[in-house]
Structure 1
Amino acid sequence: MDPQNTNMNTEAKMMMNHAKTLRLHTGNLVSRSRLKKKCPASPSEELQDCIQATLSDWFSTTKPPSKDFPDTLDCSSSQETEAITPEEREELKVSVKLFLCESLQSSIRDAVEMACQTLAVSQLDSVIIAPPGPLEGDSQTLAHLQPAWEELEALVRSQKIAAIGTSDLDKDLLEQLYNWAQVKPSSNQVNLASCCVMPPDLTAFAKEFDIQLLTHNDPKELMSAATFQEAVQVGTQDLNMANWRLEWVLRYSIIVKSRGIIKAKGYLVSARKASP
């Protein structure tokens, strides 16, 4: 092995061991064909491939400082998404789905700030929230959704987000949220794996209150803790990542409005080391 690569790997592993927070940016998947499988079987598999490839890329190219090891480690693909220029911003729509793995409201603001900074925009056009699932045996409730929605509303008021939406709400829960919320949901995603046809009552309610119904194929849990740790271990050449926890995953799409095509797509991921 090249001695220079060995030194870089040693430095990178020292940085990873010192860090308390890990931030990943996969770069633009539309223009990148580095993933092991050209067409991942599922969103979960795509994310797992992305984490492995991004960390492997970072480990092989990083030249970290030898003195100071940061608490927050930013690991990006060498093929990062091109920043959106002010001239083309009007022609593009930036859509985001945010998967919260833990019930931390600060995660929402952190994720939105990171997305704006990464893509060089001052505002995201739409954000759909997928909060962490309720405890085993419990069903989703308005009380479960309210803290996350209030944080999204604050980001709308500060003009960081233009429109906010939900995921997997039935008609009753969507109606409860709509009646309670100050900033109304503009969309609701429905998983067609769980219902092949849109429920008529949901369709009628959404039409009456101008809520867009979208479809998706994301699993309830985008990535398990074990799968995340496995992906990081592979990408970092077998570092022990057992005490790392996934905080949130943000998937973004940059769409050319006039043509309806996806110009860029990628993931931002945040994880933190659990206290011993």
Structure 2
Amino acid sequence: MEPADLTKSTGAGELLQHAAKLTLRLHYRNLVNRSRLKKKCPGSPGEELRDCIEATLSDWFSKPRPPTEHYPETVDFFIDEATDAITPEEREELKVSVKLFLCESSQSSIRDAVQLACHTLAVSQLDSVIIAPPGPQEGESQTLANLQPFWEQLESLVRNQQIAAIGTSDLDKDLLEQLYNWAQVKPSSNQVNLASCCVMPPDLTAFAKEFDIQLLTHNDPKELMSAATFQEVLQEGVQDPNIGDWRLDWVLRYSVIVESRGIIKSKGYLVSAGKASP
């Protein structure tokens, strides 16, 4: 699935009024290269995402767009000259690491996100994908039953060789053990948010060591960007308050790492949103 090319499109506000979905391909270096942000570093992952959206929409609007008679179902915002595509010659020395934040409960979002990431980076396989599924309802806790449909989609992509390794985020020892015992493709990693846990829990550490699961740390909030914030950023960037009500489906953050040197070659976000039903 490739989004519609907007090089033959008109204003974004008019496009979004007729579209059902939108995607944003956000290259981090496009953010840091902008002079207005050179003296300002984003303070959190949510702020970084917002700044990337603002930078991409601003650059998109700076390019002339001829009118069109046909409105695409999916509007794709990206910077023509910006690319993090990986050449075949450099693929062996690079690792593509992804974290997928699911905002809706559609399992098909996982397949769509992985396909767009592979297309954007010009690779056939992602080396690792960590999934952050939608949070449970208020007052409830995450359960294996909540995780299973998402994990089955990841397992299918592993069998199809589109993902090499899959991991989880913010599972305690009991839930990680349940997932491990049930899953056909075992989790290779589990992220732990040290904002709520200053030291790795001993029982989690012991279980991970026994079953060769890598424990990683992160500082991502439970909600990377609220629906209200996304709508606000989109309206400001498109410069049209009448674009309709849009909600995030998923946000994918990728990092391309030079394995031999342990440095990040490039990073960015892919965002998918759908128009809320009237």
Class of the TM-score when normalised by the shorter of the 2 chains: over 0.9
Matched, 1:169 2:171: yes
1:234-271 deviations in Å (ceiling 9; x for gaps): 21114335511100000000000110000000000000
- Aligned match of 2:27: 27
Q: Which amino acid in structure 2 is aligned with residue 207 of structure 1? A: K
Of the three residues 118, 129, 132, the one matched with 1:130 is 132
Q: Secondary structure at the match of 2:134?
A: coil
Gap runs ≥5 in structure 1? 1-7
Distance in 1 of aligned mates of 2:12 and 2:144: 44
Distance in 1 of aligned mates of 2:236 and 2:198: 37
- Superposition pairs of residues 85-234 of structure 1, within 5 angstroms: 85-234=87-236
Distance in 2 of aligned mates of 1:111 and 1:273: 17
Identity of aligned residues (%): 75
- Aligned match of 1:267: 269
Change (3 A) 1:162 1:206: same
The answer to whether the 8 A contact 2:130-2:168 is kept is yes
Change (3 A) 1:168 1:30: farther
The answer to whether the 8 A contact 2:14-2:243 is kept is no
Distance in 1 of aligned mates of 2:206 and 2:99: 24
- Aligned match of 1:240: 242
Change (3 A) 1:125 1:167: same
Distance in 2 of aligned mates of 1:181 and 1:130: 17
The answer to whether the 8 A contact 1:82-1:119 is kept is yes
Q: Which amino acid in structure 1 is aligned with residue 216 of structure 2? A: L
- Is the deviation greater in 63-72 or in 97-106? 63-72
1:28-78 deviations in Å (ceiling 9; x for gaps): 438842264631110001111111221222122152542111010110034
1:112-161 deviations in Å (ceiling 9; x for gaps): 00000000000000000000000000000000100000000000000000
Q: Quote the RMSD (CA, aligned, Å).
A: 1.8
- Is the deviation greater in 122-131 or in 47-56? 47-56
Distance in 1 of aligned mates of 2:40 and 2:81: 17
TM-score, normalised relative to structure 2: 0.92
Aligned length: 269
Q: Which amino acid in structure 2 is aligned with residue 261 of structure 1? A: I
Of the three residues 52, 55, 62, the one matched with 1:53 is 55
- Aligned match of 2:12: 12
Change (3 A) 1:62 1:135: farther
Q: Which amino acid in structure 2 is aligned with residue 77 of structure 1? A: I
Distance in 2 of aligned mates of 1:62 and 1:213: 47
- Is the deviation greater in 51-60 or in 104-113? 51-60
- Aligned match of 1:3: none
Distance in 1 of aligned mates of 2:43 and 2:273: 24
The answer to whether the 8 A contact 1:100-1:130 is kept is yes
Change (3 A) 1:64 1:114: farther
Q: Secondary structure at the match of 1:254?
A: strand
Distance in 2 of aligned mates of 1:97 and 1:159: 18
- Aligned match of 1:69: 71
The answer to whether the 8 A contact 1:229-1:241 is kept is no
Distance in 1 of aligned mates of 2:166 and 2:229: 29
- Aligned match of 1:5: none
